[in-house]
Amino acid sequence: MSKKKYLYEAKRWHQTASEDLTASKALLQSGHYAQACFYTQQCAEKAVKALWLMLGEDPWGHSIQKLIQDFPRKELLEEYDLWVQFAAYLDKFYIPTRYPNGLPDLTPGQVYRLEEAQQAIEKAEYFVRQSERLLERAS
């Protein structure tokens, strides 16, 4: 595949990440905090995968932290430690926000709160901004 095609595919993933961020904000506003948190994880995962695709690489897995740690061009990730820190925070929302058996005796809707969703959105916004910056540089 050509660099142009890689960049095109990366931008499609980034667009979907942005849409997930918008969805998470709507879910926050409607009081669906667990679902808002899940969509922030999805947002960040897709934003990071967009960067892999930009390089012509094939990302695998759902852990944002692992995707960052294995990223083939870490020197592109300014504030690398912050990327890892935010990824670790958002990875915690992949399973327990969706399944009642991911938490002891409660449903996700009973556990996740406004503050967690707000913090998750802030961290997801970071991934969208940073990946957009890197995609613009590559264009």
Closest to 98 in 3D by CA, of 109, 90, 88, 87: 109
* 113-130 pLDDT per residue, tens: 999 999 999 999 999 999
Is it the case that residue 2 has pLDDT exceeding 90? Answer: no
* 14-46 pLDDT per residue, tens: 999 999 999 999 999 999 999 999 999 999 999
CA 53: distance to chain centroid?
15
Q: How much is the pTM? A: 0.96
Mean pLDDT on 4-12: 96
- Give just the sign of the alpha carbon dihedral 40, 85, 99, 10: positive
User: 42 with 20: CB under 8 angstroms?
Assistant: yes
CATH superfamily assigned to domain 3-138: Nucleotidyltransferases  domain 2 (1.20.120.330)
User: 37 with 120: CB under 8 angstroms?
Assistant: yes
Residue 98: predicted pLDDT: 95
C-alpha separations of 55 from 14, 36, 74, 79 in Å = 14, 29, 12, 19
Residue 1: predicted pLDDT: 64
* 72-128 pLDDT per residue, tens: 999 999 999 999 999 999 999 999 999 999 888 999 999 999 999 999 999 999 999
Residue 139: predicted pLDDT: 85
